[in-house]
Structure 1
Amino acid sequence: MSIVMRVATPDALGEIVEAVAGFQRPGRPVQLHPGDLGWNWSLGMQKLADAVRVWSRDGEIVAVGMGDDDGLIRMGIAPSAGDDAVLAGRILDDLPDGYRAVEARSGRAFRALLDSSGWVADESWTPLTRDLAKPVEDCGLRVETIDPHDVRDQLLHDRVAVQRAAFPTSTFTVERWRTMAAAPAYRRARCLVAYDNAGNAVATATVWTAGPGRPGLLEPLGVHRDHRGQGHGRAITVAAAAALQEMGSSHATVCTPTANTGGVATYVSAGFEQHPPVTDFRRPSR
């Protein structure tokens, strides 16, 4: 059985998103998700395609990697191929020198190969999940959902403004939101904006499903810098979990830097279960 690696093309992105959706299983490690691809789609189809590598075995996609400008590639591996040592070797051989780090939370064979090949532990991340089998409580804030078919300009501007106020280096814009919302991955997504009692837009989240009965993802989630310390992080997290539940997800999932102790505590307070940390792998020095 032959394994082939290719760089994605814009026309193939829809197929790749569906394949990555099929990788998501309840109880499995939090790995590359359709929402990760969907969020990066805001940068444009061609830029996303250039960043994506796909490994196929006899025509079936069994692994997908998405690189970023910092030299990190984030991997998703099909559960059926997690113990495939041949695939693991091929992925490692195919990684360009430009990738200094690998996010590989799934695929035991690939993780073991990275370890035995001298790759060392890099940044530590804490996965968190919330089981959506039980009802999700009210979040306590007014939460609006942006309808991509009937966009209210003020709501969209609020969503972008909170994003930029929550993340100091954010370059998110209205135009990027529209690009993202027009993509196939967004058909199973929602953007939420939360408002306090004074009518201020205080928090936002985008949630992505992978199809009914599969884990959904919170990516991204943030609180406006001028409205922190008031419980809005917990509130928007609960609202995001409720949205994923309405959309049929089995679980709400997120992964945050282990060093972000405040973020971990917020997710736990919103009913998420904290799992053992997992590290990225950094290429050995030469």
Structure 2
Amino acid sequence: MAVSIKDVARQAGVAPSTVSRALGKGPVSEDVRRKVADAVIQTGYRPNLAARRLRSRQSMTVGLVVADIRNPFFTELARAVETAAYESGMRVLLCNTDEDPGREAMYLGLMAEERASGLILAPTRALDPARLAEFEIPVVLVDRGLPGARRDTVVLDNRAAAETLVDHLVATGRRRIAGLFGVTSATGDERRAGFEAAMARHGLAPRLRMAAPTPEAGHAALADLLSERPEAVVLSNGLFTGAMLRLCRERALAIPRDIAVCGFDDEAWASFVEPGITVIRQPLETFGREAMQMLLARLARPDLPHRTVTLSGELVVRGSTAR
């Protein structure tokens, strides 16, 4: 026999209307939402999403459009968003643009066709803010802002994080410091700006390159950058860090004796490889939860002022930058 919403309400000890609010976008306490979520699992209830979509003109689906699912940052971000969405009774439709404006446009169209309840988006540099103005659903920008777009945004303080890495390298005695930064997003620009500002503050000449955020482009740019014989290198994403480790192995460079290495994103292998990689750790779970909470708040109150939440990174020092 099919399980009804009344069965879930009986199991959770609440009214059926409370279950409806907990599984949708209605206001309920976190304690009640957890009770309803537990009752859904215990009863095996499956909501009739098609019927709900016809009633509400929404699919109870959150669109998540990321720039590169190979980048562990976006993999972990997707997991955090999915967890927060599940706890709110919503589903996640994940799309990957590979930093391609054409694919991005296609997926934005898909979200409109599917009548997604809302969208969490890591935009490409080429996205026209006017395109987002066409959306009748809430859009939250994550990881990177979009100049001219009046949208809720969750970002890292990229400039400060890059400055922290340079300051750390200088404190270990390095002076010839190089940097490699992504060329396809505002994130790379902000990290480059922080790198240059810190180098200028220390009276040092920056050595830097910009490249597409792929292992192949990173490897080529780093091979060129090493011709300037830096003592240390700052890498703006985990893909570049992996490319640097590969290049060091190919050239028999010892880290940190021959060159110090540090970068962004505390991937699992960063603490396993020898001698351990110094990184800026990003609060990935907070990224996902903040974005989802912003989206839910916007669904409940479309007239809320737009907000930007700027998160801080944490410097994790390991052997790759030892003196």
Task: Identify the structure with the greater helix proportion.
Answer: 2
Task: Identify the structure with the greater strand proportion.
Answer: 1
Larger radius of gyration: 2
Using CA pairs under 8 Å that are at least 6 residues apart, name the structure with larger relative contact order, 1 or 2.
1
